[in-house]
Homo-oligomer: A and B are copies of this chain.
Amino acid sequence: MSVELRNRLFEQLDQLVLIDPHTHINALDPSSHTLADILGYHYYTELAHSAGMPKESIEEEGISPKEKVGRLIENLGPINNTIQYSWFIEMAQKLLGFEGDAVDSSNWETLFDSAEEKMAADDWTETVFRESRLEGVFLTNDFDDPLEDFDTTKYIPCLRTDDLVFHLTDPRTKVRLYEATDVEVTNVASARQAIGKLFDHFTSKNAKACAISLPPCFAPAKVSDARAETALARVLTSGEDADEADRRATSNFIFWTLAENCQQHKLPFDLMIGVNRKVFPAGVYQGQDLYDSRVSLIQYQQLFNAFPDVTFPVSVLASVTNQELVSYSWIFPNVVANGHWWYSNTPTYIQQDCAARLEAIPRTKQVGYYSDMYKMEFALPKFAMYKRILAKVLAENFVIDRNWTEEAAVELGTQVLRGNVETIFNVGQ
């Protein structure tokens, strides 16, 4: 009974046309050209590496896309249990017409060639959008992205700010800021001016969010202008050699300034909380980051109180933080639960976290899912995974456990999949 029920719910949720509220899509080159773009995704390279494939073999310079795919395919056997592998297969089946259940040495070349042909079509990106039932995607733009030459209502800009908050120690950041704003940052006033210009630029280009990923130790706090002045001067002068205390004060000053600009420009500020960068420096590209799950939203108490008018869509990296996210979203009007991020983007954790959110956070304050993808082809299998889990939770925890009608369950699912993206980010309405 429950399986049929959830299939019925899934079918209805699967008809929806969606906007993906967080991706790393390059608007100038959104979809893949060969399977190398697909299997080059860190989920495959890092898992193949973890299962024993040498990094040198994965990342050898100058090998052809076909050679790269051939090498990876030979090493995917040990990961064919993973949900990440299932995304690849479902994508191949639904978008590339692949008819098998596994891609291996017997069939990969045929698939590679037919994929390359399909992906070469002028309308491939449009095909992917249509087959994936997507009408738009949020980008993750460097602060100095010109945001030109693409349709910003379909590829919606989002100002990513990690470099500003954490890498002002790198002289290159200062140069990039100057090139982007014509402001030379030398002190608090010029930093404010430069950041204000970035927000003006981004909002003029239809940006709908500001975003940042944050390490577990970060605890935003307001610092005085005097303290910021000293700290910023030292960071701009000494770079990586600056004191930890000065670096932290500078990060706090910049972060707070971003929040002030979000308030002024009415932009939601996506907080992606909990990642430690380069924990495994010998890992493959983008496969080096991990985390310390001992993080608490209490670290954001001052921020949430200081900016009641800024909406904070919050993502947490570890499922053990999900209950705090539920509770903070339940109490703070400006905190919203946002998707299932990275290491929590696997079915067991999604199911537990999704169920806990749906039953205790106001239905208007949760964004069900984002794909976090780098290439358009991943929206379909990732959203499909989420929609299956959402349908399961709605079936079991609402229709069966709480006697909801199927219609009401689909309405709730529709709201977290689509409606809240519209209202929270002010898009697609």
- Residue ranges of A at the interface with B (Cβ–Cβ < 8 Å): 1, 3, 46-47, 49-52, 78-84, 86, 276, 279-283, 287-288, 290-294, 296-298, 301, 304-305, 308, 318-321, 323-324, 326-333, 343-344, 346-349, 352, 355-356, 358-365, 388, 392, 397, 400-402, 412
Partner of A349, one of B82, B291, B323, B388: B323
Partner of A359, one of B52, B282, B347, B392: B347
B-side contacts of A344, CB under 8 Å: 323
Across the interface, do A331 and B81 meet the contact criterion of CB distance under 8 Å? no
**Chain B's nearest CB lies how many Å from the CB of A80?**
7
B-side contacts of A298, CB under 8 Å: 276, 279, 290-292
B-side contacts of A330, CB under 8 Å: 46-47, 50, 343
Across the interface, do A412 and B333 meet the contact criterion of CB distance under 8 Å? no
B-side contacts of A362, CB under 8 Å: 47, 50-51, 78-79, 81-82
Across the interface, do A352 and B348 meet the contact criterion of CB distance under 8 Å? yes
Across the interface, do B84 and A50 meet the contact criterion of CB distance under 8 Å? no
B-side contacts of A79, CB under 8 Å: 362-363
Across the interface, do B81 and A363 meet the contact criterion of CB distance under 8 Å? yes
**Chain B's nearest CB lies how many Å from the CB of A103?**
15
Say yes or no: A50-B331 contact (C-beta < 8 A), given A281-B305, A359-B82, A400-B3.
yes
B-side contacts of A294, CB under 8 Å: 294, 296
Which of A82, A323, A363 gathers the greatest number of chain B CB atoms within 10 Å?
A: A323
B-side contacts of A318, CB under 8 Å: 323-324
Across the interface, do B333 and A308 meet the contact criterion of CB distance under 8 Å? no
Say yes or no: A80-B363 contact (C-beta < 8 A), given A50-B333, A348-B356.
yes
**Chain B's nearest CB lies how many Å from the CB of A321?**
7
Across the interface, do B326 and A343 meet the contact criterion of CB distance under 8 Å? yes
Partner of A331, one of B78, B280, B305, B364: B280
**Chain B's nearest CB lies how many Å from the CB of A92?**
15
Across the interface, do A78 and B363 meet the contact criterion of CB distance under 8 Å? yes
Q: What's the Cα separation between A47 and B412 when bound, in Å?
A: 17
